[in-house]
Amino acid sequence: MDLLEESIVPEHARPVKQEARSFAEEHVEPNAEVCFREAEYPWDVLEAARDANLIAQDIPEEYGGRGLSLTEVLAIAEEFFRADAGIALTLQLASFGAELVMEYGSEEQKETYLRPVAEGDQLTGLAVSEPETGSDLAGMQTRAEFDDDGADGEGEWVLNGEKYWIGNGVEADWLTVYARTGDDETNRYGNHTCFVVPTDADGYHAEHIPEKMGMRASKQAHVVFDDCRIPADNVIGTEGAGFWMLAEFFNHGRIVVAGHGLGLAAAAIEEAWSFTHDREEFGRSISDFQSVQHGLADMRMDFESARALTWRAAAKVEAGERPGFWAAMAKTVATEAATNCAERGMQFHGGRSILSDRRIARVYRDVRIPVIYEGANEIQRNLVYRQSGE
């Protein structure tokens, strides 16, 4: 059963998809159970992925990357997440937020910050969510104020506030940080700016969030900025344009998150199919029961529908055709297909489903997370509705 077969994938993305599959089989799958159990950052797998040129490779060639397209990154995502979501998230978060520097940063910022990430010498991350605010981008309260009397007479930005659920908040060398720089009530979407913030800056403090129920090999942090000072030229793009920059960034990111859902759904179907065909009850294989067959059929239909939509949406977003609409649909449908498939898979496994060393149990825990990150699915439904009449 090859659920992630390549016929639906654009031809140019098939080679890197095969690279990702081979890497996942060799490095991700064998380490999945132990990384989940020990909840340790998978440094060895990350280094192997860097050596294989599968990390941060959407960064352009002139800055050390491969210039991979959105569809190529999607092809990698579904393969990695089929193998294990926790390790996969670590691998994809290694450059998370660097895309904003790539798209909007100055040439000096690109050379200084992108090249070390693409070449595997640095890690980065994106700091948006806050302890009291998640999906409301315009409501974030972490503040950046400009101090004219800063270093070298050129002024500095001073950050104060908190960020939560920040991937690589402890491990990263620098973060892209989204902070409030204005309070214009008549322009709610023009009050935030994005910054490059080195994690060794004075006033930057981060600690790991305690044990999570899913994706345990990926580490998120609680970050506190306490008069954290950064140079004046660490603004990414234009002051006050942060909301719109992030909105465009998340259009691409949600396509990749749809790939997270597809990989997880594929894993759930594989486990359910294998278990129901190998186990016997009442003197015959579980798979002989029509109710089980119908359940497996529903899982397959959910998955195939989500995959068809996701790959269509990826093409639309790459072409700039209503990207917010298509990305929101793909993210919602694919991540919810994953939750549905995991739920059925758990039911088919019966009592064995709750054993923590079972792949289906890990998948069941992991699927709860993509329906929330990159904008909760309730927010995605708002976007789909509002843009359906366009």
| HSE-up (13 A, CA, CB side) for residue 368 | 10
Nearest-angstrom CA–CA distance, 133 and 235: 23
Instruction: Report the alpha-carbon distance of residue 353 to residue 344 in Å, rounded.
Output: 11
Look up residue 55 and give its DSSP letter: S
Report the C-alpha gap between 272 and 82 in whole angstroms.
Answer: 14
Closest CA to 310 of 268, 363, 257: 257
| Active site members | 374
Write b or e for each residue in 118-136: b if 16 or more Cβ atoms lie within 10 A of its Cβ, otherwise e. Answer: bebebbbbbbbbbeebbbe
> Which among 103, 11, 4, 18 is positioned nearest to 60, based on CA atoms?
103
Side-chain-side CA neighbours of 287 within 13 Å: the count stands at 11
Under 8 Å between Cβ of 238 and 247: no
Contact between 322 and 390 under an 8 Å Cβ cutoff? The reply is yes
- Looking at the DSSP bridge assignments, the partners of residue 226 are none
In terms of DSSP bridges, do strands 124-127 and 174-180 run parallel, antiparallel, or are they unpaired? parallel
The tokens describing 205, both together, are: 């403090």
